[in-house]
Amino acid sequence: MSLNAESTAFRSALEVIRAVEPRVADAIGAELADQRESLKLIASENYASPATLLTMGNWFSDKYAEGTVGRRFYAGCQNVDTVEALAAEHARELFGAAHAYVQPHSGIDANLVAFWAILADRVESPALKKAQVRQVNDLTEADWFALRRELGNQRMLGMSLDAGGHLTHGFRPNISGKMFDQRSYGTDPVTGLVDYDKVAEAAREFKPLILVAGYSAYPRKVNFRIMREIADSVGATFMVDMAHFAGLVAGKVFTGDFDPVPHAHIVTTTTHKSLRGPRGGMVLCQPELADQVDRGCPMVLGGPLPHVMAAKAVALAEARRPDFADYAQRIVDNAQALAEGLLRRGGTLVTGGTDNHLVLIDVSGYGLTGRQAEQALLDSGIVTNRNSVPQDPNGAWYTSGIRIGTPALTSRGLGTAQMDETAELIHTVLSQTKPGANPDGTPSKAKYVLDAAVADRVAKQASDLLSGYPLYPAVDLG
């Protein structure tokens, strides 16, 4: 029997790897087997296409290419220029952006590039101006001191972590929280929605240099036209981090006021979540920020990863095909079906539902912490992650929420009927799990009790459900 191209390619690659370090080849094979078996509801994960995956394993990995297309600090970058230019072109066309920078290695890195570009564009600093035009030798020690003082401590207003914002939007565990003076806007305590009047009030009081929109765990759309008006009213640069929902923008599910690209000065994203590309980041911006954005490497980034930029070009080409719009719409349809299934069974959801790719379950209604719920679901073959809910009494470690998302299961082909079955499995586990106790009898936020027979039965049902939707059906590793 002759093998198809994908099976031949992956089998051959594993054979070559196995000859050097068989344990790595085994781990790669085991990872595919595990992914095939698990009901993956992690909102930030997906399954890249075989073409995208294969594009990362080649000679581009060996190439240094600091600089940008046509202006490199290394010789022999003509082929890297080809793939970087292609990825940028696909990104501009796909999102209707004036400029695209495809070098960031991840979403965090893309945000750092954006922060630097905004600081360099906006902060009034004669020393910085000199440094930018490369008169660095003319700068005195006092100039450098002034430059550091002026660049630090600028103001950023972003969404609070427990309302669904991201660490890189000015929170302490990330450098952004150390270099910026940050304030957050939350969500309405009753509806759970962004209250634009409150954002405007906070912006008027705080006068941020940067207004950030974008989230990791907010299950609703954000009106970027209104956010831009707020930014303009206080002279802030408006930045959107669309890492989570880039696929919904690419697939034209988020249009008009909900498409960040025409409204923001600068947009950052990851390429591996709903966009379904390789692990990486990207920055899209208005022409006036392009020059600063292109300084990302070596300003804050290590050397570009040409093999990943090539894979970005492939994945972005895929996202420009008409069937990607259908995929993006199905992600949202599935998330809504999952939300409805949970609500119908008595679950409590932050904001009462979803209009994007994710659902945030408040598991305190089941008497559990997020940590207990996450582990009980994992025991039952359902992979999710715990997440804070607004004003979470259990903090960021134990949490009271479970975040689930549909990009990965939608890539496997599951539809709304299967989402209802998934809701049933989740509800069964959460309603059968009881909080556990510490050895001294006090209540534990981590321990839980779930009958192994229930966990096994749900895991079997999850596996049966997935068996109708094989992952990478064309890939047979033998």
User: What are the residue numbers of the active site?
Assistant: 64, 66, 241, 270, 273, 279
* Smallest separation, CB 437 to ligand PLP (Å): 33
The angle at the Cα of 350, spanning 36 to 415, to the nearest 5 degrees, equals 35
What is the C-alpha to C-alpha distance for residues 168 and 172, in angstroms, rounded to an integer?
Answer: 9
* Smallest separation, CB 273 to ligand PLP (Å): 7
3-class state of residue 142 by DSSP: helix
Task: Name the residue nearer to ligand PLP (CB basis): 303 or 415.
Answer: 303
What is the C-alpha to C-alpha distance for residues 205 and 200, in angstroms, rounded to an integer?
Answer: 9
Task: Name the residue nearer to ligand PLP (CB basis): 45 or 420.
Answer: 45
Give kind and range of the element (H or E) at residue 311: helix 306-319
* Smallest separation, CB 107 to ligand PLP (Å): 2
What is the full DSSP assignment across 272-300?
SSTT--SS-EEEEE-HHHHHHHTTHHHHT
Task: Name the residue nearer to ligand PLP (CB basis): 79 or 174.
Answer: 174
Task: Name the residue nearer to ligand PLP (CB basis): 239 or 426.
Answer: 239
Distances in whole angstroms, Cα of residue 156 to Cα of each of 114, 237, 315, 471: 13, 10, 32, 42
Task: Give the closest residue to 210 by CA, choosing from 248, 180, 179.
Answer: 180
Distances in whole angstroms, Cα of residue 313 to Cα of each of 10, 12, 267: 21, 24, 18
* Smallest separation, CB 278 to ligand PLP (Å): 11
What is the C-alpha to C-alpha distance for residues 369 and 358, in angstroms, rounded to an integer?
Answer: 19
* Smallest separation, CB 167 to ligand PLP (Å): 8
What is the C-alpha to C-alpha distance for residues 228 and 238, in angstroms, rounded to an integer?
Answer: 6
* Smallest separation, CB 5 to ligand PLP (Å): 30
* Smallest separation, CB 166 to ligand PLP (Å): 4
* Smallest separation, CB 413 to ligand PLP (Å): 25
Task: Give the closest residue to 416 by CA, choosing from 355, 358, 338.
Answer: 338
Task: Name the residue nearer to ligand PLP (CB basis): 113 or 450.
Answer: 113
114-247-273-212 Cα dihedral, nearest 10 degrees? 30
What the block records as the tokens of 96 is 């209707």
What is the C-alpha to C-alpha distance for residues 351 and 335, in angstroms, rounded to an integer?
Answer: 14
Across 34-121, where does the E strand assignment appear?
A: 39-40, 67-68, 71-72, 99-101
Task: Name the residue nearer to ligand PLP (CB basis): 308 or 337.
Answer: 308
What is the C-alpha to C-alpha distance for residues 426 and 382, in angstroms, rounded to an integer?
Answer: 8
Q: What is the largest CA-CA distance in the chain?
A: 74
Do 182 and 167 form a contact (C-beta atoms < 8 A)? no
Task: Name the residue nearer to ligand PLP (CB basis): 43 or 373.
Answer: 43
Positions touching ligand PLP (CB under 6 A) are: 44, 106-108, 166, 168, 214, 216, 241, 243-244, 270, 281
Tokens 């427990």, located at residue: 162
Q: Which residue is nearest to ligand PLP (CB)?
A: 107
What is the C-alpha to C-alpha distance for residues 422 and 406, in angstroms, rounded to an integer?
Answer: 11
Across 334-399, where does the E strand assignment appear?
A: 358-362, 382-383, 385-387
Task: Name the residue nearer to ligand PLP (CB basis): 178 or 207.
Answer: 178
